Every structure is written in structure tokens, then in C-alpha cells.
Amino acid sequence: MKVTIKDRRVIGLPEEKIGPVLQWADHQAEWIGAEAFAGQSKLEEVVLGEGIRVIETKAFYRCENLKKLVLPESLEEIGDSAFLGCGKLEEVVLPAACRLVGEKAFSWCGGLKKVTFCAGGEKRQIGESAFSFCSALEKVEIAEGFVLVGRSAFSVCSALEEVCLPESLCEIGSQAFEACGALRQVRFSSGLQRIGSWAFRECRALAEVDLPDTVQEIGEGAFLGCMELMSVHLPAYLTQISDWLFGKCRALTRLDFPPSLRRIGAFAFSRCRKIRSFSFAPGIEEIGRGAFSACLDTEEISFGPGVTKIEDRAFEMCGALRAVTLPDTVEHLTAKPFYECRALLGIRYLWRGTKMPYVWVPFTPRGRKLICQMQQGIFTWQQYDEMFPAWRTKQQKITVACWRLRFREGLSDEAQAQYRAYIKRYALETARQAIEKEDMERLSLLCEEKLLPKRHLPALIALSSKGQGLSTAMLLEYGKTQVHPPAKRRFQL
């Protein structure tokens, strides 16, 4: 078969001379030219001999019946869209010398089931959309030497289940594995430094992410919409959680945050419905808009000292949120961050003006006024205690009363009597809540202050035994210590 060659570049040959098999062994040529065999529907097999170093842009573009491809060990570069749309191509072996797989090189190869990356070389790259829309590809194991997986490199590979990344890999580009709906496992390499925006967005089957400590940056929305994601290990030196990073990860139940963290981006954990609590070490400075919005099962969020800025609607529609711990470094605290948090009772305010671990402030306009007074240095405990009748709900009053009886700084005898009387009035309800939530501190307070009438003990012990029974021993011991006057004798002889 005679092929046209010019300046060591294969230009092509007349269409009528194209057969089902192209075997190339002429060492005079080093390039397969741009569009040399583009659109050749008769071509079914291509075997390229040694000497070919470059396959240029669209060289075999839309060879729709191409099934077999053999690349030479001498191959160094595959150009953009070189094999785009070769829908029947089933397997590709990329030689060790190949340092670049170009943009869309094998995109839309719907029949491609296996790609073998041979180890060797340095600073190798997989270009943008190189294997995108390869719907039959099930496993990718990238060999050592590759430093970059480009933007959308394996996006919408709907059958892809497993990805193994080499130690040499430094960067995963934006949208690299986006919408790989069957992807269950990714083995991240210890040399990885950067994960681009939306890199694993909508990988709905991904269940676990274990990121190495070498990762310095994770782009926005990198794991957005990973519906089955349950466990995440974050890098030890990560400084920010970017916008939408774990948004809509509805199965996520727990995260451990590194102490290096400084910023939580907008909507970072939005709609993470199953996380019951968030706890952050000191150092967080900024909480973005909607960062924890619609976390429906979240009951408690705790921040250490350092937070200065909380943007509007940061905790919007957290329907189960009952308590938030905030430091006194927060500037201009308003109601806007807690929009539609209807169960929110109050804020544990870390005020440096007291020796107590925190000040419990009901989440009401009056409560926010108290926080402002603390920040301005004009707060007094008398003001706090005088506001007790004005708190909105029974639960707020019970919580305030229990807290003040536990931490008595500046507590007058009159205020103490007020709090004791209120707790005694609702002792049964308070004890039930403490048992159900396993709040041993509150139950211990009721027992120590002798605010729990003996007549309620059988019902409370029965309630405790239905759960884990942690409070049963405390209640039994309390029953023994209760002293009651002897019953009066009805008749006297």
C-alpha cells in the first residue's frame, strides 16, 4: 500500500486505496499528519511500526469502524482529537515514551474498555477531555511518570468503577472525573498537591475519600453531589474548604477537620443531611454564605476562638439545630446567618470576660443585645438574670435555669430561688429530656440540687432502661439518698 510522505510526515493516501488494515513499518516517516486518515470508515485495524513519534491532530478522527490499534514504542505524542469518535475501538496500550495524550485524543470512543498506561518517562500528561465520554471504560490505572490528569480527562465515563493514581501525579484537573456515576474507589497518591474544581462532581457511587497530607488545594465543588460519600479524610495542612466542596453529600455522617483550617466557603456543606454535629478547632476565621444551609439533621455546631465573620444564611434552614458555639471574636452577629433555624434555642458564647467556659444566651433579639453588651464591656449578671421572665419558650427558660444553677458567677440568692422554682415546676419534663438525650450533666444537676420529686423516679427509671441505661444508676442512687419523714400513724393506742 503506497502512502504519501512529505518531510517525514504521512499525509495520507487516496480513499479508494484505503483497506481494512493499515500496517506501517517505514522508518522514514516520524509523524502521522493532521487528518491523514480522518473519516476513513473502511479502516478496521491500524498497526504503526517503530519510528513514528507523533500522531497529529485528527489523524484518525471518526474512523468509526476502527477496532484494533497498535502503537509503537517510539511514540511520544498523540495530538488533539487524534482518535476522537472511533466508537468501536476496544483497547489502547500507551507506550512508555508517550509523554502527552492530547485534548480529546480518545474522546467519544464508546467501545473502549481498557486503557493501559506503560510506566516510564517523566512529566507525562493526560490532556483535556482525553478520554471523556468513553462509556465502556471500567478501570483506569495510570502509570508512574504522569504528573497531570487534565481538565475533564475522564468525565462522563459512566461505567468507570475504579481509578488508581501514581505517586508521581501532582494535579487532578477541573472536572477530571465529573459525572462518573459508577465510580466507587479512587486511590489517591501520596504526591498529589492539587485537586481542581468539580473534579469528582456527581460521582454518586463514591463512598470514601482518603486524601494525602500533601494536598494543598481542593477546588470548589470537587465532591459536589457525591450522594453515597460517607467518609472523608482531609489533608493535615488544608487552609480552606472551598465553595460547594461537599455540597449535597447526603450520606456523609462525619468529618475530622485539620487545625490549619482558616475558611469555610459558601455552601461548603449545604444539604449534608446526616451530619449530626460539626466541631472546629480554634483558627477558623470566616464562614461563607450558606456554608451549612439545609443540614437537616445537624443539632450542634461548635467553633473555637478566631471566627470574625459569619456571612448571611450560613446556617439557613438547619431545622434540627439547637445550639451553636461561637467565640466573642465574631463581629456584628445578627439573625441573618440563622434564617429559618426554628429549633435553635441559643448560643454558647465564648466570652473572655468570664472564667466560665461559656455564656448560654437564648437566640432572641434580647439575647443578641446581651452579646452586644458583652462586646462593649457594659454587661452585668444582674441584667442577665432580670431577663429570665422575658425569654420566649419553656425550653429556653429551662436551659437558662440549669446553666445558671451550674455556673453561679454573680448569681444572687433571689435569682437562684427563681431558677430553682422554675426547674422544680418542670422537673419531670427536664429529667425526661436529659435521659432521652443522655445529658448526664443536666440530670446530675437535678439530683445534686434535689429538684426531682421521688414520685417521678419509677417512670424515669423505666424510661432510662429502654435506652442504654446510662442514667439508671444515677436515679437509683438518688432514690436512696432521699430522706422522707416517717408516715403519721393513723391510730394511737
The candidate with the shortest Cα–Cα distance to 222, out of 190, 256, 249, 189, is 249
Query: Collapsing DSSP states into helix, strand and coil, what is residue 283?
Result: coil
Per-residue pLDDT at 486: 47
Q: What is the pLDDT of residues 333-391, one digit of tens each?
A: 778 899 989 899 999 999 999 989 999 999 888 998 999 999 899 999 999 999 999 99
Per-residue pLDDT at 292: 95
The dihedral through the CA atoms of 228, 231, 236, 240 has a sign that is positive
| Alpha carbon distance 166, 128 (integer Å) | 18
The candidate with the shortest Cα–Cα distance to 270, out of 289, 288, 254, 294, is 294
Supply 469's cell numbers.
Answer: 441505661
Q: What is the pLDDT of residues 6-51, one digit of tens each?
A: 455 565 655 545 556 666 665 567 889 899 899 988 899 999 888 8
Q: Taking the domains of the chain in order of start, what are their residue ranges?
A: 426-479
Half-sphere exposure of 455 (CA within 13 A, CB side): 2
| Alpha carbon distance 299, 322 (integer Å) | 5
Per-residue pLDDT at 12: 60
DSSP element (H, E) containing 393: none
Per-residue pLDDT at 438: 85
DSSP element (H, E) containing 404: helix 394-406
Adjacent-strand bridge partners of 327: 350
Helix axis angle for 427-436 and 394-406, nearest 10°, is: 80
C-beta separation of 300 from 321 below 8 A: yes
Supply 281's cell numbers.
Answer: 478547632
CA 282 to chain centre: 20
CB neighbour class for 306 (10 Å; exposed up to 12, middle 13-18, buried from 19): middle
| Alpha carbon distance 358, 298 (integer Å) | 21
**Weakly modelled stretches of the chain, pLDDT under 70:** 1-28, 467-469, 482-493
Q: Which amino acid is at 435?
A: I
Phi, psi of 296 (to 5 degrees): -65, -30
Q: Which amino acid is at 115?
A: V
| Alpha carbon distance 352, 304 (integer Å) | 12
Q: Which amino acid is at 334?
A: T
| Alpha carbon distance 277, 299 (integer Å) | 6
C-beta separation of 398 from 420 below 8 A: no
Per-residue pLDDT at 15: 52
**DSSP 3-state helix, strand, coil percentages of the chain (rounded to 5)?**
20, 20, 60
Helix axis angle for 413-425 and 427-436, nearest 10°, is: 70
Supply 195's cell numbers.
Answer: 485537586
Per-residue pLDDT at 140: 94
Per-residue pLDDT at 5: 47
Per-residue pLDDT at 335: 80
DSSP string, 91-119: EEEE-TT--EE-TTTTTT-TT--EEEE--
| Alpha carbon distance 380, 373 (integer Å) | 9
- Taking residue 491's Cβ as centre, other Cβ atoms within 10 Å add up to 4
Per-residue pLDDT at 169: 96
pLDDT above 90 covers what percent of the chain? 71
Phi, psi of 418 (to 5 degrees): -60, -45
The dihedral through the CA atoms of 388, 391, 393, 399 has a sign that is negative
